[in-house]
Structure 1
Amino acid sequence: MNGYTRGFWCECWTEDLTEAQQPTLRGSFDAHSAGQADRWIAIALRTITPALDSRASDEAWEWLYEGRIKTKRALLCSEPCTVSINQGGTRITWTARPVLFLPLAHRQGIELSTCAHDFKPHAGY
């Protein structure tokens, strides 16, 4: 095993279209398959559609019924994908891009590794 697994890094961003501000990250998810990445976006869209205005809701349902096929196809080919809807003066964007997940160091037992004891708190903490 080469120590990593393939997957997708998914994010949800909002952007205020009426002001010149940077987009804000609202959430992220590590998907371990194309289907899982696709479902993360679909569940988020289905969850918020009742709160959207009619135009944004139509955009969401259009992606859920038709655009989702293209997105799923791209994800299966390990291509990055973006899904956006506009609600009033806000753009909501979901992204999914292929990544390699590296395993984290595994700790055995409840003892910290020896290097953890090398760092002492400053006086007064």
Structure 2
Amino acid sequence: MTELPRGYWCECWTEDLTSQAEQPTLHASFDAYSAHQADRWVAVALRTITPALDTSACDEAWAWLYEERAETRRALLRSEPCTVTVTHTTTRITWTIRPVLFLPLSHRRGRELPACTYDFKPRTTD
């Protein structure tokens, strides 16, 4: 029996704090195969957006980058899920990292898609 590859599923969500009806919105996801890849994905995103953040959110971002990132990595190595959050004005930005087992696609050979792929019909609007 083949052991399934372990890794981390990473997501980036935003939430408008002024709207009680609005649900969080998923903006990005990433499959990381190491704790280093997972926390680096968040670090690159934070470094990229910090120039556009307000002072408080920027401080939160740099606090995680310089003080809390190492603890995040240790938690991931213990297979614990992690969350990194910054709040910019009325928007909460949250990155989640969860340990996962990656399941291989069955019947996948090179570029050939599984036979069941052709069973699905395009979605139409009425």
Same fold (TM over 0.5): yes
* Amino acid of the structure 1 residue aligned with 2:85: S
User: Structure 1 length normalisation: TM-score?
Assistant: 0.86
* Amino acid of the structure 1 residue aligned with 2:13: W
Instruction: Report % sequence identity.
Output: 65
Q: CA deviation at 1:12?
A: 0.1
Q: CA deviation at 1:69?
A: 1.1
Matching of residues 1-125 of structure 1 within 5 Å:
2-20=2-20, 21-105=22-106, 106-107=108-109, 119=119
C-alpha change, 1:116 and 1:55, in structure 2 (3 Å) is: closer
Task: Specify the SS of the correspondent of 1:78.
Answer: coil
**2:114, 2:28 → 1: CA distance?**
32
Q: Which structure 1 residue ranges, 5 or more long, are not aligned?
A: none
C-alpha change, 1:40 and 1:108, in structure 2 (3 Å) is: closer
Aligned pairs, number: 119
* Structure ID, larger Rg: 1
C-alpha change, 1:63 and 1:107, in structure 2 (3 Å) is: same
- CA-based RMSD of the aligned residues comes to 2.2
User: Structure 2 length normalisation: TM-score?
Assistant: 0.85
